[in-house]
Amino acid sequence: MDELVEDPEGFVEDLTDSLEEQQSSQGGGSATLVVGDQTWTFGPVLCAFGPDEIGQEGAEFVLSAIQDGMQMYVSIDDFGEFITLDDVTDFENPSVGIGSSGGMAIEIDGKSVRAEGEFFDNVAGGFDTITGTFEATCP
């Protein structure tokens, strides 16, 4: 925790490097997020199913992928169903910040995951939503 307080950017960089290494060694599969006219594809991805794998009571599914300085994160838990895409290299001036709005319905069929819904562009700001789709295949 001292590192987080003393050097938050260094802490995030170390954490990002660790997750990328884990993806490379354990991951497989891929994920694609299309929001408006923009597309992001990640591979490999890390997936976990159920509270035992995730380590959180009430958690049903988590997907994480870090690539090219961005993190895609998908979660189904007691708080709802969320999809985010964030710049993990520049928190003050992020190049991307996409988040699903309420009402996201993420469908899981075995190792295949799909969702369609409305997203906010947190970098551009405002309250306008953009239609998007998400598809993934977990390893």
How far apart, in whole angstroms, are the C-alpha atoms of residue 80 and residue 75? 8
String of b and e for 80-98 (b: at least 16 CB within 10 Å)? ebbbbbbbbeeeeeeebbb
| Rounded Cα distance, 23 and 18, in Å | 9
- pLDDT per residue as tens digits for the range 94-120: 999 999 987 788 999 999 999 999 999
CA atoms within a 13 Å half-sphere pointing along the CA-CB vector of 26: 12
pLDDT confidence bin for 127, thresholds 50/70/90? confident
Q: Output the pTM of the full model.
A: 0.82
- Mean pLDDT over 77-88 rounds to 94
Residue 104: closest CA among 46, 61, 55: 61
Question: The dihedral of CA 112, 13, 69, 79: what is its sign?
Answer: positive
Compute the mean pLDDT over every residue in the chain, rounded to the nearest whole number.
Answer: 87
Q: By C-alpha distance, which of 30, 32, 45 is closest to 132?
A: 32
Coil/strand/helix, residue 10: helix
pLDDT tens column, 36-64: 999 999 999 999 999 999 999 999 999 99
Task: Identify whether the C-beta of residue 132 lies closer than 8 Å to the C-beta of residue 118.
Answer: yes
Question: What is the three-state SS of 65-98?
Answer: EEECCEEEEEEEECCEEEEEEEECCCCCCCCCEE
